[in-house]
Amino acid sequence: MDQLTLRTPDDWHLHFRDGDMLPETVPATARCFQRAIVMPNLIPPVTSTQMVNEYREQILTARPEGSTFEPLMTLYLTNNTTAEDIREAKQNGVVAAKLYPAGATTNSDAAVSALDELYPVFEVMADEGMLLLIHGEVTSADIDIFDREKAFIDTHLKRIVDSIANLKVVFEHITTKDAVEFVASAPERVAATITPQHLLLNRNDLLVGGIRPHNYCLPVLKRNTHQQALREMVATGNSKFFLGTDSAPHAKHRKESDCGCAGCYSAWSALELYAQVFEELNALDKLEGFASEHGADFYGLPRNEGSVTLVREPWQVPDEITLPNGEPIVPFFAGQTVNWQLK
């Protein structure tokens, strides 16, 4: 097969940033995705409806001429988020709230350090039909970074899912066999996003032959058996698993640093790379469900009407892209060949 037409896909997890990053990031996503769940970890984080509305306007302004791309906005949970914050956000079209354990990742210092105290807020979210999106890693210093996702499942996620009966939960950017198994056997109201990097790579791609800072993201890449579990699951077409790129730009000097930032800027190649993975898995017929149907169905939103076409024309991801502020950024898969191209 040399051509592949899909219902227009959505990206159920990404980072646009703000300010002068937006003229780069919004068109890169709008080129093929109709909607995207926009993460709220700005500086300062998007913790109120007013901030959500201002951020949404900035994103809409950065759309290419004629684009109908629709940002789906999220609220950043803190220890101080109230029931009223949730209700107000819901009334303003906010579809989900994001739970970052404090210190788990980029710009999460202001996030939740007392998770148990947030259960009343989760109850309100369930009542309001607002989804809970979770960065599922514990942060305690005594838990090894490679074990943090599993520890989060055992310490928090099982309990959240069991105790808040009607809450829809998306376990974001899962990286382990444990997470795959947890989600697959959880109630229907629990789903997961999977990134291109966690399907394509494992921790050897981060550490063998030298440190590869552009493959550093959080949750960190795991051993190949975990990568294999993710790949096997997407190849089944299970509708609880869907596309979320976690495209997360950081300027080149912030990645190539003695304390490099976590995040892979994949917007320019993500859809094409997912196609590459599904082809390797002999599961190209499952790509449309993963990219264009399961997420919308889970969020209770209509599937998109349009279509995109990918053609088998190998191309090379550029070594660098220049950000609107003149700084270089190294895109995910830089300098490597991608087999599929958006027509």
Q: Pairing state of beta strands 3-7 and 307-316?
A: antiparallel
Please, what is the minimum distance in Å from the beta carbon of residue 18 to ligand DOR? 12
Among 263, 289, 295, 331, binds ligand DOR (CB under 6 A): 263
Q: Report the candidate in 124, 122, 149 with the shortest Cα–Cα distance to residue 137.
A: 149
Could you say whether residue 262 binds ligand DOR (CB under 6 A)?
yes
H or E segment and range at residue 159: helix 158-163
Taking CB under 5 A as the criterion, the residue among 10, 11, 137, 246 binding Zn ion is 246
Quick one: CA torsion of 238, 241, 243, 244, rounded to 10 degrees? Answer: -170
Judge whether 77 and 98 are in contact, CB under 8 Å: yes
173 is annotated as contributing to ligand binding: yes
* 262 has binding-site annotation: yes
Tokens linked to 214: 């552009």
106 interacts with ligand DOR by CB under 6 A? yes
Amino acid at 85: D
Restricting to residues 204-243, which ones interact with ligand DOR according to CB under 6 A?
A: 217-218
Please calculate the CA angle 113-154-232 and round it to the nearest 5 degrees.
Answer: 115
Among ligand DOR, Zn ion, none, partner that 263 touches (CB below 5 to 8 angstroms by kind): ligand DOR
Instruction: Say how far apart CA 252 and CA 328 lie, in whole Å.
Output: 6
In this structure, the chain runs to a length of 343
The token duo for 182 is 């947890």
Q: Answer yes or no: is 17 a known binding residue.
A: yes
Structure tokens at 166: 């009607």
Find out whether 18 is annotated in a ligand binding site. no
Position 277, amino acid: V
Q: Which of 105, 215, 266, 292 binds ligand DOR (CB under 6 A)?
A: 105
253 is in an annotated binding site: no
Contact characters 60-89, Zn ion, x per CB under 5 A: ------------------------------
- Can 20 be counted among the known catalytic residues? no
Binding of residue 71 to ligand DOR (CB under 6 A): no
List residues forming the annotated binding site for substrate.
15-17, 41, 135, 218, 250, 262
Residues involved in catalysis:
246
Give contact residues for Zn ion (rule: CB under 5 A).
Answer: 39, 246
What does the binding site for ligand DOR look like in residue numbers (CB under 6 A)?
A: 15, 41, 105-106, 135, 217-218, 246, 248, 262-263
